[in-house]
Amino acid sequence: MASSSLFASADADDPLAKQQKDAQAVSHRIDEDIQESRKAFERRKKAIKILLLGRVGKSTTLKNFQLAFSPQHFRSERAAWRTIIQLNLIRSIKRLLEVLQQELDESTQPLRTGAPDKGKGKAATVRFSTSPLTDQHRRMRMRLSPLLPIEEQLTRRLLPDANDRLQDVCVRAGSGWKGLLAGIQQDGGADGQARAKEPRRPSTAEGRRDDPTAVLAACRDDIIALWEDPVVRAVLKRRGVRLQDMPGFFLNDAARIATMGYDPTDEDIVRARLRTLGVEEHRFTMESGALPGSEWYIYDVGGSRNNRPMWIPYFDDIQAIIFLAPLAFNLMLEEDTKVNRLEDSIMLWKEICQNPLLAKTTLILFLNKATLAAGIRVNKYVPSYGDQPNDVQHVTKYFRDKFRGYHKRLSPQARSFYWHETSVVDTRSTAAILVGVREGILRAHLQSVNVI
């Protein structure tokens, strides 16, 4: 035993032997990494990959996919979406307060009394307001002001290089924003959960001043009172401001959301508005239906024109494109107010259809349901529509046939045309549509690998 111990000690003191042992350990780790990379490559090769294209509705469609087929993964991110929903609500409140301040500023008029000021030799001037807004509205507006720094601070944390003109809650792709927001909720969560059980209404000072949950709960009554006030509604209507048309609108749900114990519903998360800048990769495992356990990759790409060069690298490695085309024939692009949004969608559809890299890719068109406001004539914006009936059914059919015609004429080879009329915030109807979409994608994928 003494001799064996002596040799072991000699090996430990031998620098060459130690170097060889360390080198073998490094080599072993490298081999393991190579094996893991090879396995990951094989899994990714077998995975189903989908590209979401279009200007709006991509993130909502993605959330519907996750909710329908990977609900556990979807609900594991609930804490992050809670903060996004709160930010959406605060954005609407901010816009409401801006409109009210504008109303107060523009309706304040000078009135000369005719009596000169003592020692100045000119008539005194007092100011009066012609607005229907009262001092009570001013006080509610002041009490809601603590919400504004929270919105600015959280937005800066999500997107540090954002400019002041952003109209949506935005994040940079790959920035780890979900972990950041979940951390924000956890930081304030311990006190929040305890306070949620208390019957009294918390004040702003009781929570962290940058905690949206505490400040929203403190402002809850004023938010509800201001939004439901008939005078405020009349001011908004007269100024042509429809907050309910804003993406991520939750003012009607303020009584439920502005509480310490708020937990988002599935529908809340689907309706939440979050704009992604860049290409965001989402990987999830199918939990039910055909081929449970199969891996899916869905790429959510920016819809604006300057983001489109980023799409090209994904064209040779995807099974399907879901193309979202909102029938917004009366709206213009944000980045180019001379270009009609629907016209831009049709031009992009034509490019996708004729691209040789996508000849074998399944194309699925989602037409977001048209809404025709009173008095709007389609042929004013789309002269080729002519004198056809100006109702939703005929308008939808007209544009569906237009998209289908370009697909048939421009595709490099014959392929099926799939289209669905959708309302992506309607989770039930969208779930039924996505079942059919999933089965079609799976069938095409299995055919491409000679399984069927």
pLDDT, tens digit (0-9, with 9 covering 90-100), for 218-242: 999 999 999 999 999 999 999 999 9
pLDDT-based confidence at residue 372 (cuts at 50, 70, 90): low
- Give the number of residues written for the chain: 452
Q: Residue 71's pLDDT is what?
A: 86
Look at 113 and 42; give whichever has higher pLDDT.
Answer: 42
What is the torsional sign of CA 155, 157, 162, 164?
positive
* pLDDT, mean of residues 49-67: 82
Residue with tokens 């080198």: 23
Question: Among 118-127, 196-205, 218-227, which range has the highest average pLDDT?
Answer: 218-227
pTM above 0.85, yes or no: no
Q: Residue 371's pLDDT is what?
A: 66
Is residue 45 within a helix (H) or strand (E), and if so which, with residue range? helix 15-46
The answer on pLDDT for 85 being more than 90 is: yes
The answer on pLDDT for 7 being more than 50 is: no
252: Cα separation from own chain's centroid: 19
Q: What span, in angstroms and rounded, lies between the C-alpha atoms of 284 and 65? A: 10
What are 286-298's pLDDT values in tens digits?
A: 876 666 777 888 8
Look at 348 and 117; give whichever has higher pLDDT.
Answer: 348
Look at 45 and 244; give whichever has higher pLDDT.
Answer: 244
pLDDT-based confidence at residue 261 (cuts at 50, 70, 90): very high
The answer on pLDDT for 306 being more than 70 is: no
Q: Residue 75's pLDDT is what?
A: 83
Q: Residue 400's pLDDT is what?
A: 93
Beta bridge partners of 51: 299, 321
Q: 107 and 129 in contact (C-beta within 8 Å)? A: yes
Amino acid identity of residue 17, one-letter, is A
The answer on pLDDT for 66 being more than 70 is: yes
Please state, in angstroms and as integers, the Cα–Cα distance from residue 110 to each residue in 105, 113, 130, 134, 275, following that order.
12, 10, 11, 18, 44
Look at 75 and 85; give whichever has higher pLDDT.
Answer: 85
Beta bridge partners of 323: 53, 365
Q: What span, in angstroms and rounded, lies between the C-alpha atoms of 302 and 342? A: 17
Pull the structure tokens for residue 320: 């399907």
**E strands of 149-289, at which residues?**
170-172, 275-277, 280-285
What are 133-178's pLDDT values in tens digits?
A: 888 999 999 999 999 898 888 877 777 766 655 566 777 666 677 7
Q: 227 and 246 in contact (C-beta within 8 Å)? A: no
Q: Residue 302's pLDDT is what?
A: 64
Please state, in angstroms and as integers, the Cα–Cα distance from residue 175 to each residue in 53, 157, 171, 280, following that order.
21, 11, 7, 10
pLDDT-based confidence at residue 128 (cuts at 50, 70, 90): low
* pLDDT, mean of residues 19-45: 78
Pull the structure tokens for residue 87: 């930010």
What is the torsional sign of CA 179, 181, 187, 192?
negative
Assign domain 46-70+286-448 to its CATH superfamily.
P-loop containing nucleotide triphosphate hydrolases (3.40.50.300)
Q: Residue 204's pLDDT is what?
A: 39
Instruction: Please state whether 291 falls in left (phi above 0), alpha (psi between -120 and 50) or beta.
Output: left
All residues at 6 or more sequence positions from 224 whose CB lies less than 8 Å from its CB, including other chains? 254, 255, 258
Q: What span, in angstroms and rounded, lies between the C-alpha atoms of 319 and 396? A: 27
For the chain, state the CA radius of gyration. Answer: 29
* pLDDT, mean of residues 303-313: 67
The answer on pLDDT for 83 being more than 70 is: yes
**Mean of per-residue pLDDT scores for the chain:** 78
The answer on pLDDT for 427 being more than 90 is: no
What are 381-411's pLDDT values in tens digits?
A: 888 888 998 888 888 899 999 999 999 999 9
pLDDT-based confidence at residue 374 (cuts at 50, 70, 90): low
Q: What span, in angstroms and rounded, lies between the C-alpha atoms of 251 and 261? A: 18
Q: Residue 218's pLDDT is what?
A: 94
53 class by beta-carbon count within 10 Å (0-12 exposed, 13-18 middle, 19+ buried): buried
Ordered by start, the domain boundaries in the chain are 46-70+286-448, 79-100+128-165+177-269
All residues at 6 or more sequence positions from 203 whose CB lies less than 8 Å from its CB, including other chains? 218
Give the single-character DSSP code of 340.
Answer: B
